[in-house]
């Protein structure tokens, strides 16, 4: 592990932050007694972050899939600084701000024609909530108030707020958070029911359109407002559905008058080697009816999410009897400084051709860790673009590998038994190589692989 003992970093230790953290900070999605050392990060450059003891780590998780253009990018930092010193924010209810307007226009320019109206929120979870509300309200305002159900994949992840959790089927994420609102059901995840991976064996049986149609028929298509899916399931275990699944869902939605919501919080803005994950599967120029983005949108420089719809959905909200518009929003949704950051991130993405780079580096990463399939403690290796999953035999193995990689200077995150490799899109071939070698070494070090 590289040690960069610079004064400001070492001084950070003297602030007492570690003690303050231990005494007062509640870490989300994390055991109170974490098995591995809880790092205190103080700065980052490119794909590396540095802790208060001067230790430098290669970030193979892009924070949590959001640090798309890496750390300390001067272009983004300058945009944030300029915006913060002119007008940091304003609630968008009755006014506009320049970066919020320009970003909405920019999003319209990178989405298929027709997806041209953006509502801002602050997080991926809020975007999910807003998208589901918009779908239900749109149906109600169009004379179909009985269409309230939202269907999503059992293993999908759409956020941590109550209705977003209702949209996930996995017990670990649900238990103890209910009661949940009515009107949620789960479609069978497109992953093999025999080996739980998929597409790698001839015998794989992967649920698809027939099962989904049947499930929709059972609920009653006229009661369904929306189908909410991730083009590639990320937190749910890097599940790459077979080609054609999203197209089939698009057709099912069209047939039954159901809105298709693509949750691209993780997959959007280049992560899978296309600007949006749905581009891998839908015909060029076609998209979902509602698109949610977050994470990579600001490259992690500020909290921001976006819900983008077509004019046909937007215009209907004029009919709302109480407001004549959308009764939804957040004080800092579309925060001007966050929008300025997003505009700079999209500039960097375009100028450095990072979406194409993500496809190439993703192939390299997948090929580099693919030999792990032969390890006794590895069940599967899969991925798309710079979203690669190494599925271990159990949660404990994944936690062990995460710890061993951290000790060797590489940060990965595991979601359940799946180690997720998702570096910033600026990652270099050398960094991919170092990262992959370290993960392989960490896997080989786990007790179960040695046995």
Six token digits for residue 162? 């109550």
Nearest alpha carbon to residue 148 among 178, 201, 185, 199: 185
Write the DSSP string, 208-230: -HHHHHHHHHHH-GGGEEEEEE-
Site map (CB under 6 A) of ligand PLP, residues 308-347, x = contact: ----------------------------------------
Question: How do the residues of the chain divide into helix, strand and coil, expressed in percent and rounded to 5?
Answer: 40, 15, 40
Q: Pick from 44, 63, 70, 159: which binds ligand PLP (CB under 6 A)? A: 159
Check if the beta carbon of residue 131 is closer than 8 Å to that of residue 305.
Answer: no
Residue 303 vs 403, nearer CB to ligand PLP? 303
CB of 159 to ligand PLP, least distance (A): 4
Stretch that binds ligand PLP, among 30-38, 123-131, 277-285, 383-391 (CB under 6 A): 123-131
CA–CA distance, 411 with 438 (Å, rounded to integer): 10
Near ligand PLP in 245-274, by CB under 6 A: 263, 265-266
Stretch that binds ligand PLP, among 131-139, 158-166, 401-409, 437-445 (CB under 6 A): 158-166
Query: Is 123 a residue that touches ligand PLP (CB under 6 A)?
Result: yes
Pseudo-torsion of CA 23, 26, 27, 28, nearest 10°?
Answer: 170
Stretch that binds ligand PLP, among 82-90, 229-237, 272-280, 371-379 (CB under 6 A): 229-237
- The count of chain residues that interact with ligand PLP, using the rule CB under 6 A, is 15
Stretch that binds ligand PLP, among 155-163, 214-222, 370-378, 399-407 (CB under 6 A): 155-163
Near ligand PLP in 382-421, by CB under 6 A: none
CB of 68 to ligand PLP, least distance (A): 14
Please give the angle made by the CA atoms of 50, 53 and 55, to the nearest 5 degrees.
45
Residue 125 vs 332, nearer CB to ligand PLP? 125
Residue 234 vs 272, nearer CB to ligand PLP? 234
Stretch that binds ligand PLP, among 12-20, 111-119, 139-147, 151-159 (CB under 6 A): 151-159
Query: Is 125 a residue that touches ligand PLP (CB under 6 A)?
Result: yes
CA–CA distance, 134 with 331 (Å, rounded to integer): 18
Please give the angle made by the CA atoms of 110, 78 and 335, to the nearest 5 degrees.
60
Q: Pick from 9, 216, 235, 384: which binds ligand PLP (CB under 6 A)? A: 235
Check if the beta carbon of residue 260 is closer than 8 Å to that of residue 185.
Answer: no
Near ligand PLP in 345-384, by CB under 6 A: none
Cα distances (angstroms) measured from residue 105 to each of 85, 118, 263, 339: 23, 9, 20, 11
Q: Pick from 120, 157, 276, 301: which binds ligand PLP (CB under 6 A)? A: 157
Burial 119-147 (b: 16+ CB within 10 A, else e): bbbbbbbbbbbbbbbbbbbbbbbeeeeeb
Q: Strand ranges (DSSP E) for 22-145?
A: 41-45, 48-51, 55-59, 115-121
Stretch that binds ligand PLP, among 152-160, 244-252, 331-339, 428-436 (CB under 6 A): 152-160
Query: Is 288 a residue that touches ligand PLP (CB under 6 A)?
Result: no
Q: Pick from 234, 337, 406, 420: which binds ligand PLP (CB under 6 A)? A: 234
User: Residue with CB nearest ligand PLP?
Assistant: 124
Check if the beta carbon of residue 230 is closer than 8 Å to that of residue 154.
Answer: no
Six token digits for residue 9? 């970093």
Which residues in this chain contact ligand PLP in the complex, by CB under 6 A? 123-125, 128, 157-160, 230, 234-235, 263, 265-266, 294
């Amino acid at each position: 592990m590289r040690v960069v003992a610079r004064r400001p970093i070492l001084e950070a230790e003297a602030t007492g932050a570690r003690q303050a953290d231990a005494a007062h900070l509640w870490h989300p999605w994390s055991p109170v007694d974490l098995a591995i050392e809880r790092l205190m990060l103080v700065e980052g450059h490119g794909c590396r972050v540095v802790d208060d003891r001067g230790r430098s780590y290669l970030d193979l998780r892009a924070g949590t899939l959001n640090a798309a253009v890496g750390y300390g990018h001067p272009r983004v930092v300058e945009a944030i600084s300029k915006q913060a010193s002119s007008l940091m924010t304003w609630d968008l209810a009755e006014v506009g701000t320049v970066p919020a307007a320009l970003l909405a226009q920019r999003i319209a320019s990178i989405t298929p024609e027709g997806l041209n109206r953006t509502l801002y929120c602050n997080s991926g979870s809020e975007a999910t909530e807003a998208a589901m509300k918009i779908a239900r309200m749109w149906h109600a305002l169009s004379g179909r108030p009985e269409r309230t159900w939202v269907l999503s994949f059992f293993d999908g992840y759409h956020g941590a707020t109550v209705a977003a959790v209702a949209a996930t089927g996995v017990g670990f994420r649900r238990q103890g958070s209910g009661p949940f609102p009515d009107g949620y059901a789960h479609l069978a995840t497109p992953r093999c029911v025999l080996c739980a991976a998929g597409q790698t064996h001839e015998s794989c049986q992967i649920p698809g359109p027939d099962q989904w149609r049947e499930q929709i028929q059972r609920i009653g298509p006229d009661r369904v407002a929306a189908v909410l899916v991730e083009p590639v399931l990320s937190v749910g275990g890097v599940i790459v559905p077979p080609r054609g699944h999203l197209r089939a869902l698009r057709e099912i939605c069209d047939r039954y008058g159901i809105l298709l919501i693509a949750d691209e919080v993780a997959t959007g803005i280049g992560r899978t080697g296309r600007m949006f994950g749905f581009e891998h599967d839908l015909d060029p120029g076609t998209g979902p009816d509602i698109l949610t983005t977050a994470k990579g949108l600001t490259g992690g420089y500020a909290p921001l999410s976006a819900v983008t719809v077509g004019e046909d959905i937007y215009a209907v909200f004029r009919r709302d009897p109480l407001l004549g518009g959308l009764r939804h929003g957040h004080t800092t949704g579309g925060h001007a400084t966050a929008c300025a950051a997003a505009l700079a991130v999209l500039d960097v993405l375009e100028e450095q051709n990072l979406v194409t780079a993500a496809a190439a580096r993703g192939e390299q990463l997948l090929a580099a860790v693919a030999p792990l399939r032969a390890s006794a403690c590895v069940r599967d290796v899969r991925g798309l673009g710079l979203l690669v999953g190494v599925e271990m035999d159990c949660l404990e193995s994944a936690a062990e590998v995460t710890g061993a990689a951290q000790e060797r200077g590489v940060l990965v995150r595991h979601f359940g038994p799946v180690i997720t490799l998702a570096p910033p899109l600026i990652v270099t071939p050398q960094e991919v190589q170092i990262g992959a070698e370290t993960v392989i070494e960490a896997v080989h070090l786990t007790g179960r692989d040695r046995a």
